[in-house]
Amino acid sequence: MAGIKALISLSFGGAIGLMFLMLGCALPIYNQYWPLFVLFFYILSPIPYCIARRLVDDTDAMSNACKELAIFLTTGVVVSAFGLPVVFARAHLIEWGACALVLTGNTVIFATILGFFLVFGSNDDFSWQQW
């Protein structure tokens, strides 16, 4: 039952994050949809780590280069997702209020993605790999 509660709370967190992103785009005072490009970063962020988990055996205690590279690439994607709205705001494509809403949405969405991997990332009987 704890897994279902975690899944529901992660779904709620994802919905709240996407709500902030949509508010940054669709409010009448902003009315620019450039911030939707951060959706690509939401999709790209877990891919390197998922690939590294499939390739690497978790039996050794030392960290290996493949996992470290995956974490580095994931960090680059997350930093780019936070940097893109700031660049858009500096280029006057979006307003600074929209930038703040998108950055808030980024924080919530990436916390939700991290929470997903923390809750369902272990290799016990209730794992994300069974999905």
Measure the CA–CA gap between 100 and 27, rounded to whole angstroms. Answer: 13
Domain ranges of the chain: 1-125
Tell me the C-alpha to C-alpha distance, in Å, between residue 106 and each of 55, 65, 89, 129: 28, 28, 15, 25
C-alpha–C-alpha distance, residues 40 and 78, integer Å: 11
Cα–Cα dist 116/9, whole Å: 10
Measured over the CA atoms of residue 119, residue 123, residue 129 and residue 131, the dihedral's sign is negative
What average pLDDT does the structure give for the chain? 88
The pTM of this model reads: 0.85
Q: Are 89 and 95 in contact (CB under 8 A)?
A: yes
Position with higher pLDDT, 40 vs 122: 40
d(CA 123, CA 131): 13
- d(CA 64, CA 52) in angstroms, rounded, equals 10
pLDDT above 60 for 126: no
In whole angstroms, what is the distance from residue 37 CA to residue 91 CA? Answer: 15
Q: What are phi and psi of 123, to 5 degrees?
A: -95, 45
CB half-sphere exposure, 31, CA atoms < 13 A: 2
Would the pLDDT of 112 be above 70? yes
Query: Tell me: the pLDDT tens digits for 52-62?
Result: 888 876 656 55
